[in-house]
A and B are shown apart, each in its own frame.
Chain A
Amino acid sequence: MKLKGSEIIMECLLREGVDVMFGYPGGAILPTYDAMAKYDDRIHHVLVRHEQGASHMADGYARATGKVGVCIATSGPGATNLVTGLATAMMDSSAIVAITGQVPIPAIGSDAFQETDVTGVTLPITKHNYLVTDVNELAYTIKEAFYIARTGRPGPVLVDVPKDVQNAEIEFVYPDADVMLPGYHPPSEARSHEIDGALRLINEAERPIILAGHGITMSGAMNEVRELAERAQIPVALTLLGKGALPEEHPLVIGMMGMHGEASANLAIQEADLLIALGMRFDDRVTGNLKTYARNARKIHIDIDRSEINKNVKADVGIAGDLKAVLTQLLPKLPQKSHPDWIRRIRDWLEDSSERDILNYETPGKLMTAQVINDIWRLTGGNAITVTDVGQHQMLEAQYYPHQRPATLLTSGGLGTMGFGFPAAIGAKFGQPDEEIWAIVGDGGFQMTLCEMATARQENINVNIAIINNHFLGMVRQWQELFFEKRYQATPMVNPDFCKLADAYDIPNRRVSRRDEVEKAVDFARGIDGPTLIEFVVEKEEMVYPMVPAGADLHDMKRRPKPGEA
């Protein structure tokens, strides 16, 4: 069968099981857009309003499904608009394949119209990238791209396809053999001495703690981690992206760790004599000052990326491997254990934390973000997929919306990308059409990608937008309050009327400024099959506590004030 490069791209996407792609057309990718028409019944193209949106949608789709998300853009400005999304996906190990048009091969290097060295630009923010210079290599390259994106430690892969390669016609046969890359062998199982080493440390520990990261979900090791925790009675602290890896209602789960983590979790880490780090990478937002971090603890670190081991924290036993495979090796040899004193000690800290919890004291006449989020949790039965933006609302989501299932909190952790939440929620809904999806966004971040309301309308996609409007770049304001003597330089915002905006996009909406209106508005949004928007007008100068100031010791937290102290 004779096919053009553009058609080969579509054939390859079909073979990879792609059913939706997010993109924006332009000159250099036009042949592929033309070929798309023929495949419209099998691969749905979502027309975004800014390519950044396409990259976050592909990311949201990938995070929600565990499959590869696909975005597509034209050369030059189209491709550079993907950059933020690729960097976001890279930091959070999200599997996306980006296809970009490029100027024809003879024009490459001539500063042709809309020419950008996209493989050069994206080199440090992709897991791998390709410039396809021969149509004969196109199919195999796309196959490799998907393989690299989804295997090992997942990540974004970009394929740059010159226009003449899209137009070239060849006899097409799909390369059906497995991808074989001489330099790419993600680790899988552990060596037996590594397993023995880990078992020895677990057996010797009196105050062990599991640090549960994103890798658990990506490896599908939820049951194994749970068994490890239960059999050896080890408390579990979660990273932001680890939320949902174990049900948060599980008695051994002691909450989120890190900068805005629970005091009990951070104190437990500092007091522990063994950290068992599973699929996490000791980000500075998790460790605080490395010099004083978990000083009395030995460390077992299991991660699929060998370069993460000993990067920030030195491991006594470091295992580069697939978490599920490694735990499957380890569990049969793991004896029952119990640490009643240790668990009792952590429980005391937990009680101290909940006493200070904002939900446990009256805030008459005020609408607090924590309450809004906790109400959304209650009204959705804790069962929605929430996709957050970045800022105070994001940290409060993590604190006040307990997640029971993996991949139900989608958030930009590593890069902290404002503007991620809303488009990623759209992508997630395409991946999980039967799930209830809430985009919980700040008034600042929402304005970075709100143009995607048009996309949501055009697709009639059922995503509920909850804007937490504090009229501030709240998280930055918090830092200014704490560390810059309340000099609110460039953080107060004069915002548009979000409800009128939603009206303009023909999106049903409500504004809520009192606690007793929350339930009605949430029910309203849940009752509509299509996009909705609720603006929650909350207190302007709320704080997110606990907080470990950047670079401070992890135990050196600013605690939540007790009622009366506030």
Chain B
Amino acid sequence: MAEASSENKMTVVALVENEPGVLNRIASMFRRRAFNIDSLTVGRTHRPHISRMTIRVVAGPEYAMKIAANLQKLVNVIDVRVLDNEPHIERDLALIKVRNDDADSRNTITEICDRYPARIVDVGPEVAIIEMVGTEAILEAFIEEVKPTGIVEMIRTGVVSMGRGTRIHDTTLINRRKLIEAASRARQGNGRIV
């Protein structure tokens, strides 16, 4: 579909039914419509039947609205919101394995970690693992600083976001599976499900 026009990143958040194949449907839609995604994360919410996705795209607001409209069209997607229109918190988590085999690098790493919300979570004679949580921008700045010491391995979870304040992005809708179960239970009753 349309090309990504600007270099800003937009964040789309979606509540989806936690059912087999849902991620596949969403991935398939992105591929089919040729939407460019920067990162996509899925995780559980406090409601067992609902998962929450954060999708980051390198694009302007119009592009993000198109993505939102196409996501909303999927039957298993309950609600979609483009978060950049409101104040929000975002977090990305990285595990970074760095070289740690001389005093110099050990010192540098400890020093950098002190200045960032980062912790060394595993130390060995040759390498150490740093855990760093923060906004995407801080993460990137941190990684730039660590790079000269020698990154040997890295994984990032991708950004997760949540709007601030009382505009709640949630659903109290009950589980569709529950409905189906109720329907089958109703076999003993009058066949009515609520």
Q: A173-B187, A175-B191 are in contact. Are A183 and B74 (CB under 8 A)?
A: yes
| Cβ proximity bits A173-186 to B, threshold 8 Å, 1 near / 0 not | 11111001111100
Residues of A within 8 A of B16 (CB): 183
Say yes or no: is B44 at the interface (Cβ < 8 Å to chain A): no
Q: Decide: A137 and B24 in contact? CB cutoff 8 A.
A: no
| Cβ proximity bits B7-35 to A, threshold 8 Å, 1 near / 0 not | 00000000011000100110011001000
Q: Decide: B192 and A177 in contact? CB cutoff 8 A.
A: yes
Say yes or no: is A148 at the interface (Cβ < 8 Å to chain B): yes
Q: A124-B29, A310-B66 are in contact. List 5 more A-B contacts (CB 8 A).
A: A137-B184, A172-B187, A180-B179, A181-B75, A182-B174
Q: Decide: A136 and B78 in contact? CB cutoff 8 A.
A: no
A-B contact pairs, 10 of them (CB 8 A): A137-B180, A140-B180, A175-B186, A180-B179, A183-B72, A183-B74, A183-B77, A183-B79, A306-B73, A311-B66
Q: Decide: B187 and A171 in contact? CB cutoff 8 A.
A: yes
Say yes or no: is A305 at the interface (Cβ < 8 Å to chain B): yes
Say yes or no: is B103 at the interface (Cβ < 8 Å to chain A): no
Residue of B nearest to A148 (CB): B75
Say yes or no: is B85 at the interface (Cβ < 8 Å to chain A): no
Interface centre among B29, B72, B184, B186 (most CB of A within 10 A): B184
Residues of A within 8 A of B155 (CB): none
Residue of A nearest to B174 (CB): A182
Say yes or no: is A278 at the interface (Cβ < 8 Å to chain B): no
Say yes or no: is B193 at the interface (Cβ < 8 Å to chain A): yes
| Cβ proximity bits A279-323 to B, threshold 8 Å, 1 near / 0 not | 000000000000000000000000001110111000000000000
Say yes or no: is A359 at the interface (Cβ < 8 Å to chain B): no
Q: Decide: B187 and A184 in contact? CB cutoff 8 A.
A: no
Q: Decide: A182 and B28 in contact? CB cutoff 8 A.
A: no
Say yes or no: is A493 at the interface (Cβ < 8 Å to chain B): no
Q: Decide: B1 and A311 in contact? CB cutoff 8 A.
A: yes
Q: A124-B32, A173-B191, A306-B73 are in contact. Are A182 and B180 (CB under 8 A)?
A: no
A172–B188 alpha-carbon span in the complex (Å): 10
Interface centre among B66, B73, B79, B191 (most CB of A within 10 A): B73
A184–B16 alpha-carbon span in the complex (Å): 11
Residues of B within 8 A of A141 (CB): 180
Q: Which single member of B24, B79, B171, B192 contacts A176 (CB below 8 Å)?
A: B192
Say yes or no: is B62 at the interface (Cβ < 8 Å to chain A): yes
Residue of B nearest to A180 (CB): B179
Shortest 7 CB-CB contacts between residues of A and residues of B: A307-B69, A175-B183, A182-B173, A173-B191, A183-B78, A136-B184, A177-B193
| Cβ proximity bits A426-446 to B, threshold 8 Å, 1 near / 0 not | 000000000000000000000
Residues of A within 8 A of B25 (CB): 123
- CB of A138 to closest CB in B, whole Å: 10
Q: A124-B32, A311-B66 are in contact. Are A183 and B187 (CB under 8 A)?
A: no
Q: Decide: A177 and B78 in contact? CB cutoff 8 A.
A: no
A123–B79 alpha-carbon span in the complex (Å): 20
- CB of A1 to closest CB in B, whole Å: 9
Residues of B within 8 A of A172 (CB): 187
A305–B69 alpha-carbon span in the complex (Å): 9
Q: Decide: A176 and B78 in contact? CB cutoff 8 A.
A: no
Residues of B within 8 A of A127 (CB): 75
| Cβ proximity bits A155-188 to B, threshold 8 Å, 1 near / 0 not | 0000000000000001111111100111110000
Residues of B within 8 A of A176 (CB): 191-192
Residues of B within 8 A of A306 (CB): 69, 72-73
Q: Which single member of B65, B72, B184 contacts A310 (CB below 8 Å)?
A: B65
Say yes or no: is A119 at the interface (Cβ < 8 Å to chain B): yes
Residue of B nearest to A127 (CB): B75
A280–B179 alpha-carbon span in the complex (Å): 36
Q: Decide: A139 and B32 in contact? CB cutoff 8 A.
A: no
Residue of A nearest to B70 (CB): A307
Q: Which of A171-207 contact B (CB under 8 A)?
A: 171-177, 180-184
Q: Decide: B28 and A124 in contact? CB cutoff 8 A.
A: yes
Say yes or no: is B88 at the interface (Cβ < 8 Å to chain A): no
Q: Decide: A174 and B191 in contact? CB cutoff 8 A.
A: yes
| Cβ proximity bits B161-176 to A, threshold 8 Å, 1 near / 0 not | 0000000000101101
Chain A residues within CB distance 8 Å of chain B = 119-120, 123-124, 127-128, 131, 136-137, 139-141, 148, 170-177, 180-184, 305-307, 309-311
A499–B51 alpha-carbon span in the complex (Å): 61
Residue of A nearest to B80 (CB): A183
Residues of A within 8 A of B184 (CB): 136-137, 170
Q: Decide: A128 and B75 in contact? CB cutoff 8 A.
A: yes
Q: Decide: A177 and B69 in contact? CB cutoff 8 A.
A: no
Say yes or no: is B141 at the interface (Cβ < 8 Å to chain A): no
Q: Decide: B176 and A181 in contact? CB cutoff 8 A.
A: yes
Residues of B within 8 A of A175 (CB): 183, 186, 191, 193
- CB of B168 to closest CB in A, whole Å: 16
Residues of A within 8 A of B66 (CB): 307, 310-311
A140–B183 alpha-carbon span in the complex (Å): 8
A131–B77 alpha-carbon span in the complex (Å): 18
Say yes or no: is B137 at the interface (Cβ < 8 Å to chain A): no
A139–B181 alpha-carbon span in the complex (Å): 12
Residues of A within 8 A of B76 (CB): 183
Residues of B within 8 A of A183 (CB): 16-17, 72, 74-79
Residue of B nearest to A182 (CB): B173
Q: Decide: B176 and A182 in contact? CB cutoff 8 A.
A: yes
Interface centre among B1, B24, B77, B193 (most CB of A within 10 A): B193
Interface centre among B1, B75, B77 (most CB of A within 10 A): B75
A498–B77 alpha-carbon span in the complex (Å): 50
| Cβ proximity bits B118-152 to A, threshold 8 Å, 1 near / 0 not | 00000000000000000000000000000000000
Residues of B within 8 A of A173 (CB): 183, 186-187, 191
Residues of B within 8 A of A120 (CB): 24
A124–B27 alpha-carbon span in the complex (Å): 11
- CB of B107 to closest CB in A, whole Å: 53
Q: A176-B191, A180-B179 are in contact. Are A307 and B73 (CB under 8 A)?
A: yes
A306–B77 alpha-carbon span in the complex (Å): 15
Residues of A within 8 A of B180 (CB): 136-137, 140-141
A183–B78 alpha-carbon span in the complex (Å): 4
Residue of B nearest to A183 (CB): B78
Residue of B nearest to A137 (CB): B180
Residues of A within 8 A of B21 (CB): 119, 131
Q: Which single member of B24, B69, B78, B181 contacts A182 (CB below 8 Å)?
A: B78
- CB of A291 to closest CB in B, whole Å: 13
A306–B66 alpha-carbon span in the complex (Å): 9
A236–B7 alpha-carbon span in the complex (Å): 41
Residue of A nearest to B171 (CB): A182
A173–B74 alpha-carbon span in the complex (Å): 29
A173–B186 alpha-carbon span in the complex (Å): 7
Q: Which of B18-69 contact A (CB under 8 A)?
A: 21, 24-25, 28-29, 32, 62, 65-66, 69
Residue of B nearest to A171 (CB): B187
